[in-house]
């Protein structure tokens, strides 16, 4: 329980110069978190090959981070409504850095997955709290322009991350472990910049209660279902007792979580916000966007390296169309939104472009021309840039300042959940198709089952496989990736439908919804001037 404080007068509106100073620290923090995911994206094939990890473990190195980030995001957001945002953000960075260092020292795939899960706790805090802090500083109408800067940093992290990761892995005197270590000094700089530039009014409330029970139930329910998706049809069948037990247990925990959230005094996912039309539709669209950005970065990096034989550095360069699309579209759409005050047209256009891009990528195999793949990636990137931040903006515009943290974190929660589900489901589909293709092709070629290098050699460790087997493995991964993106295109259609059903949104020009309502009421109370007499 926190001590009561004396109410303070509202601070004056921040100037553009003050906002840019504070924003520099926030964007640096976001860069640290986002680049950690993309640095690993192109390095994962090498990492898992060195640790002799399986395709399922490959997926869970990403899924574990997203899962813990998803589970803790609502808690971070609720804490931001109750305590000092600056202190919480700095705490999230420290947790993230500790997880990164532990991951760098991992000696097995299991240890790496555990370290990445801890790292995700900090990542969830950074992603949620940056959005919350920006919302507390800048009015929604003006936020579109600053969201352009935000999108630019996201694109820089996602473009530079794969390139940095590739260079690190390809540099013998560094090695893949520095993919995790490299973020530590940048995080220290971010902490110093935040300490000097970020100054927000402190608002505390008495008798604070965090709904840890609800957060635990949500995390447990989602985890069980994702574990089931990862192992079904591989370790056990669809109609097995394991499937029944895991599905029933997962759904029961989520149903209990809804009940707990409906009765909690301070729910981590406020049902009154979630059930609003704008928030509900933004959540559905965010699920599709989350799957797009995470699924695209994870499986495209693997496709270029394992399926096409490119080095990690080359794979990073080949993913530039995806990230450049995010950079250009987020910057341009942000400025246009600030000028017009309208956000729905950009969200609709973005989700449509995502579907078109995924549809193109769904036809690729291990021989598809690179310009064709680049075009599909660019369309996905443009769609993500036009929709991801703007979905958060639409929700923030519809709630009061006191609920900004919970509302922002709720959208981030479901976007992260979409990424978690997307990576897990798409990874399971990819693993199933790859295993089946490799088995049938080796049998057709008359290659003995043990010719793949033995039971302890992963199919991702291509350097240890015979030449004939390497060709089969590359073709299997290259051909299976297209089927993964076909499923992604189908799921992205849900985002289009949700975007079309959004109400027409005109962004308000004040930070708080209550002030906007009072301003509108005062304007309507003014007497209408009568006709001018000559």
Helix (H, G, I), strand (E, B) or coil at 342: strand
pLDDT band for 8, please (50, 70, 90 cuts).
very low
Instruction: Name the band, by pLDDT with cuts 50, 70 and 90, for residue 507.
Output: low
**pLDDT of 7 over the 60 cut:** no
**Cα dist from 511 to 374, 404, 412, whole Å:** 40, 10, 20
Longest alpha-carbon distance in the chain: 102
pLDDT, tens digit, 9 for 90 and up, residues 92-143:
988 988 988 898 898 888 889 999 989 888 888 887 788 777 777 776 666 6
pLDDT beyond 60 at 510: no
55/312 Cα distance (integer angstroms) = 18
Are 503 and 394 in contact by the 8 Å Cβ rule? The answer is: no
Would you say residue 348 has pLDDT above 60? Answer: yes
8-state DSSP, 503 = P
Contacts of residue 17, defined as CB under 8 A and 6 or more positions apart, other chains included, come to none
Q: Where are the domains of the chain?
A: 16-198+266-518, 211-265
pLDDT tens-digit profile of 379-434? Answer: 998 998 888 778 877 777 776 666 666 677 677 777 777 777 777 777 777 877 88
164 three-class SS: helix
- The alpha-helical segments, DSSP class H, found in 138-210 are 140-170, 178-181, 183-197
State residue 231's pLDDT score: 72
Q: What is the pLDDT of residues 53-82, one digit of tens each?
A: 776 777 778 778 877 877 777 778 777 777
Q: Given phi > 0 = left and psi -120 to 50 = alpha, else beta, which region is 309? A: left
Please tell me the pTM assigned to this model. Answer: 0.70
Q: Give me the architecture of the 16-198+266-518 domain, per CATH.
A: Up-down Bundle (1.20)
Mapped onto helix, strand or coil, the DSSP state of residue 214 is: helix
Q: Which of 27-41, 129-143, 174-188 has the highest mean pLDDT?
A: 174-188
Q: Are 357 and 245 in contact (CB under 8 A)?
A: no
Output 357 or 36, whichever has higher pLDDT.
Answer: 357
Asked if pLDDT for residue 376 goes beyond 90, the answer is yes
Give residue 529's pLDDT band: very low, low, confident or very high (50, 70, 90): low
DSSP of 282-327, one letter per residue? HHHHHHHHHHHHHHHHHHHHHIIIIIT---HHHHHHHTHHHHHHHH
**In the predicted model, is pLDDT for residue 38 greater than 80?**
no
Alpha carbon dihedral 307, 313, 318, 324, in 10-degree steps, equals 140
Average pLDDT for 162-173: 80
- Structure confidence by residue, pLDDT tens digits, 465-505: 666 777 787 788 878 888 888 888 888 888 899 888 888 76
215-269 residue pLDDT tens:
788 878 877 887 787 677 667 777 788 889 998 998 999 899 888 888 877 777 7
């Amino acid at each position: 329980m926190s001590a009561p404080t004396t109410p303070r007068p509202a601070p004056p509106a921040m100037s553009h110069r003050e906002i840019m100073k504070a924003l520099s620290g926030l964007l640096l923090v976001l860069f640290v978190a986002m680049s950690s995911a993309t640095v690993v994206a192109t390095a994962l094939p090498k990492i898992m090959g060195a640790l002799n990890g399986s395709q399922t473990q490959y997926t869970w190195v990403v899924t574990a981070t997203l899962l813990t980030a998803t589970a803790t995001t609502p808690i971070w957001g609720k804490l931001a409504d109750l305590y000092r945002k600056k202190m919480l953000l700095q705490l999230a960075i420290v947790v993230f850095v500790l997880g990164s260092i532990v991951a760098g020292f991992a000696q097995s795939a299991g240890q790496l997955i555990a370290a990445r899960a801890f790292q995700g706790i900090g990542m969830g805090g950074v992603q949620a709290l940056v959005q919350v802090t920006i919302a507390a500083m800048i009015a929604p109408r003006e936020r579109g322009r600053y969201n352009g800067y935000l999108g630019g940093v996201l694109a820089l992290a996602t473009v530079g991350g794969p390139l940095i990761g590739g260079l690190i892995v390809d540099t013998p005197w560094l090695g893949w472990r520095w993919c995790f270590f490299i973020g530590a000094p940048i995080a220290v700089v971010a902490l110093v910049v935040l300490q000097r530039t970020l100054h927000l009014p402190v608002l505390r409330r008495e008798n604070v209660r965090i709904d840890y029970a609800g957060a635990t139930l949500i995390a447990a329910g989602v985890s069980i279902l994702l574990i089931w998706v990862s192992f079904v049809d591989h370790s056990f069948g669809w109609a097995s007792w394991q499937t029944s037990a895991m599905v029933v247990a997962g759904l029961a925990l989520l149903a209990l979580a809804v009940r707990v959230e409906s009765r909690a005094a301070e729910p981590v996912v406020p049902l009154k916000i979630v059930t609003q039309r704008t928030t509900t539709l933004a959540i559905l669209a965010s699920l599709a966007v989350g799957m797009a950005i995470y699924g695209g970065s994870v499986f495209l990096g693997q496709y270029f390296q394992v399926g096409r034989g490119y080095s990690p550095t080359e794979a990073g360069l080949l993913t530039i169309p995806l990230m450049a699309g995010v950079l250009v579209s987020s910057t341009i759409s942000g400025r246009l939104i600030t000028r017009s005050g309208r956000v729905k047209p950009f969200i609709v256009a973005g989700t449509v472009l995502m579907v078109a891009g995924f549809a193109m990528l769904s036809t690729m195999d291990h021989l598809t021309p690179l310009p064709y793949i680049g075009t599909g990636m660019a369309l996905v990137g443009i769609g993500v840039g036009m929709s991801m931040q703007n979905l958060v903006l639409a929700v923030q515009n519809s709630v009061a300042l006191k609920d900004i943290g919970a509302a922002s974190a709720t959208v981030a929660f479901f976007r992260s959940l979409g990424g978690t589900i997307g990576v897990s489901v798409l990874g399971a589909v990819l693993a199933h198709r790859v295993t089946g293709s490799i088995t049938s092709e080796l049998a057709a070629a008359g290659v003995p089952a043990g010719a793949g290098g033995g039971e302890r050699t992963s199919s991702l460790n291509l350097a240890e496989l015979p030449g004939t087997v390497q060709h089969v493995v590359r073709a299997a991964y290259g051909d299976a990736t297209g089927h993964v993106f076909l499923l992604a295109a189908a799921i992205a259609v849900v985002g289009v439908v949700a975007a079309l059903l959004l109400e027409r949104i005109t962004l308000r020009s004040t930070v708080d919804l209550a002030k906007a309502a009072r301003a509108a009421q005062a304007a309507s109370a003014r007497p209408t001037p009568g006709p001018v007499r000559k």
